[in-house]
A and B are shown apart, each in its own frame.
Chain A
């Protein structure tokens, strides 16, 4: 059964032993960040629900909703012990159901309270500083909805970091390669404010798909429907004709001020480093709609990997790249783009001919996500499971020939928050071909792979049974 709201998911997580309630009163700093960081480091890390916040009444905070493979499996309505590769293939299977268009509803709890005068984000949400040197209190897991000003049928739902700077002002980080940047550019060329809506505390599939690198013309709501197996419910915004996820706890509506930038950041990013301060776009908030109290504020801890963000952006990034590439190259078996948001990406594929691995590496760099993020691309044969790093490193040690199999592309586009850059947004891409040479490339001299004895799989089962003491 898919979840229509964060609350429904929390109930499921609790029933499955994946939710821990923190009943004692906590301080916004440093308690929330410290506990959220810990939750993702506990094996099978649970969701944490803080029930009492110092200084607030009827506000609760949820963290680590996506922060373990167990939570991730529950999000997909799979048994919580489902392994990573099985979750990858299940997600890939559901991807093919796209598009499942959303269903519009006339009313939802998020419209219970509407505030358009004297509003204050500090009053409505128990904001906290995610990491000590962040430049302010961030909304780190909110879904931002916008439309293309020239082609309004193109709507985008994405997660962007949002710095609450005042009661009604929010800084917004958007990279030039993001879909929202296209909407903003067009609005700014026309000197128009861009209407946006920000959905806080959503069911986990909504934020999962919002953080997926879909193609510009792909509809996030229709992909959410594909992943959950039934249409996502949406409701129209109060202003600006935007579709909102109907299960959200709270919606912030406003507009991006055109052609102005304001100091934003730093913020501890998924890289495990603080980004720098820059001048960035800013939102003027003019309306808040929400459920009645108590409000559950869901936010994301980002910090030294692995943290919740690494789980949230792992398989959605991997499957998006897999589907985009497999459309051109059906030989591809799987893609692992889980490390630092895909900075390291491993492609497993059958080889069509000699040099094909380099073709695949270059194709990755022309996907929407691949344009910027991946900078270390490893291509392995289809006998290597890209999610098993022992196998990947083995392939690199015995199949990779640096003098023939290394491609270096300098001065290529890169992530602007990559701490290794010399020029911000410019990087060097590295493709490592760790595949066996295919014709007409020269085979390795005397290379014969040792096969696993054919009786070994049944022995593995026998040994495991005996270890459990069943026999």
Chain B
């Protein structure tokens, strides 16, 4: 199945096991036998496979130490830091 076949179909949104965002969605399924599906969360970039252990796939059972809140995401430091833009006269040609 081609990747275009997976839309952000509102009816198929999932809850992200890690950050509890309610707009995670399916992005892929097993090429053979459709025996699993892969989902992604557009907020925290978490991805998971439907056949993984419940501690990874179930928002209620996800390890509390690894949960991410919107506030934590907003407070994250950039790595590496973003440098200042060079002024035009500093640009080497």
- Whether B56 sits at the interface, judged by CB under 8 Å, is yes
Q: When each residue 165-192 of chain A gets 1 if its CB lies under 8 Å from chain B and 0 otherwise, what string results? A: 1110001011110000100110011110
Contact A184 B36 (CB under 8 A): no
Residues 143-169 of chain A: 1 if any B CB is under 8 Å from the residue's CB, otherwise 0?
A: 000000010000000000001111100
Give the segment of A9-17, A255-263, A342-350 that binds chain B.
A255-263
The answer on a CB contact under 8 Å between A135 and B31 is no
Interface residues of B in 10-55 (CB under 8 A from A): 18, 27-28, 30-33, 35-36, 38, 40, 43-49, 51-53, 55
B contact residues around A54 at 8 Å (CB): 30, 35-36, 51
Q: Is the CB–CB distance between A185 and B76 below 8 Å?
A: no
- Tell me, in angstroms, the Cα distance from A259 to B81 when the chains sit together: 9
Q: Which of B38, B47, B78, B84 contacts A278 (CB 8 A)?
A: B78
Asked whether, in the complex, the Cβ of B66 is within 8 Å of the Cβ of A185, the reply is no
**Which residues of B have CB within 8 Å of A150?**
92
Asked if residues B28 and A123 are in contact (CB atoms below 8 Å), the reply is yes
| A interface, over-half SS | loop
Q: Which one, A22-30, A101-109, A355-363, is touching chain B?
A: A22-30
Q: Are A191 and B45 in contact (CB under 8 A)?
A: no
Assuming the contacts A54-B35, A120-B3, A133-B66, asked whether A167 and B28 have C-beta atoms less than 8 A apart, the reply is yes
- CA distance in complex: A154, B30 (Å): 41
Cβ contact within 8 Å between B4 and A118: yes
Asked whether A132 and B56 contact (CB < 8 A) given A55-B33, A279-B76, the answer is yes
Cβ of B78: which chain A residues have Cβ within 8 Å of it? 261, 278-280
A56 close to B30 (CB less than 8 A) = yes
Do residues B82 and A188 form an inter-chain contact, with CB atoms below 8 A? yes
- What is the minimal beta-carbon distance from A72 to any residue of chain B, in angstroms? 31
The one of B3, B36, B53, B76 in contact with A55, judged by C-beta atoms closer than 8 angstroms, is B36
**Which chain B residues border A120 with CB–CB below 8 Å?**
3, 28
> Would you call A341 an interface residue if the criterion is a C-beta within 8 Å of the partner chain's C-beta atoms?
no
Shortest A103–chain B CB gap in Å is 31
Residue numbers in A under 8 Å from B43 (CB-CB): 263
Q: A189-B83, A278-B79 are in contact. Are A166 and B49 (CB under 8 A)?
A: no
The closest CB in chain A to the CB of B2 belongs to A118
Most chain B beta carbons < 10 A, residue from A175, A185, A189, A424: A189
Which residues from B are CB-within-8-Å of A259? 82
**B31-A123 in contact (CB<8A):** yes
Bound Cα distance from A171 to B33, whole angstroms? 29
A264 within 8 A of B: yes
- Inter-chain CA distance A176–B79, complex, in Å, is 8
CB distance from B88 to the nearest CB of A (A): 10
Closest to A274 in B: B66
A279/B53 in contact, CB under 8 A:
no
Residue in contact with B47 in the complex, picked from A137, A274, A279, CB distance below 8 Å: A137
Is A428's CB within 8 Å of the partner chain B? no
Assess whether B45 is in contact with A261, with CB atoms less than 8 Å apart.
no
The answer to whether A264 and B45 touch (CB under 8 A), given A27-B51, A118-B3, is yes
User: Which residues of chain B come closer than 8 Å to A57, judged between CB atoms?
Assistant: 31-32
| Contact status B45-A29, CB under 8 Å | no
The reply to whether A122 and B81 contact each other, CB–CB distance below 8 Å, is: no
Q: Does A229 contact B (CB under 8 A)?
A: no
With known contacts A55-B31, A135-B45, A136-B46, A185–B2 Cβ distance under 8 A: no
Within the complex, what minimum Cβ distance (angstroms) separates B4 from chain A?
Answer: 7
Partner of B79 from the list A129, A173, A266 (CB cut-off 8 Å) is A173
With a CB–CB cut-off of 8 A, which chain B residues contact A191?
85
- Which of A29, A55, A281 neighbours the largest number of chain B CB atoms within 10 Å of its CB? A55
Q: Which residues of B contact A163 (CB under 8 A)?
A: 45
Q: Is A416's beta carbon under 8 Å from chain B? A: yes
B20: min CB distance to chain A, Å: 14
A277 interface residue (CB < 8 Å to B): yes
B85 near A185 with CB under 8 A, answer: no
One of B18, B28, B76, B85 near A189 (C-beta < 8 A) = B85
Residue numbers in A under 8 Å from B30 (CB-CB)? 54-56
CB nearest to B75 among chain A residues: A279
6 residue pairs bridging A and B, Cβ less than 8 Å apart: A29-B56, A55-B31, A55-B33, A129-B52, A277-B44, A278-B79
Interface residues of A (CB under 8 A from B): 27-30, 54-57, 118, 120, 122-123, 129, 132-133, 135-137, 150, 163-167, 171, 173-176, 181, 184-185, 188-191, 259, 261-264, 266, 274, 277-281, 416, 424
> Which 7 A/B pairs are nearest by Cβ-Cβ distance?
A55-B30, A122-B28, A261-B78, A136-B47, A176-B80, A279-B76, A189-B86
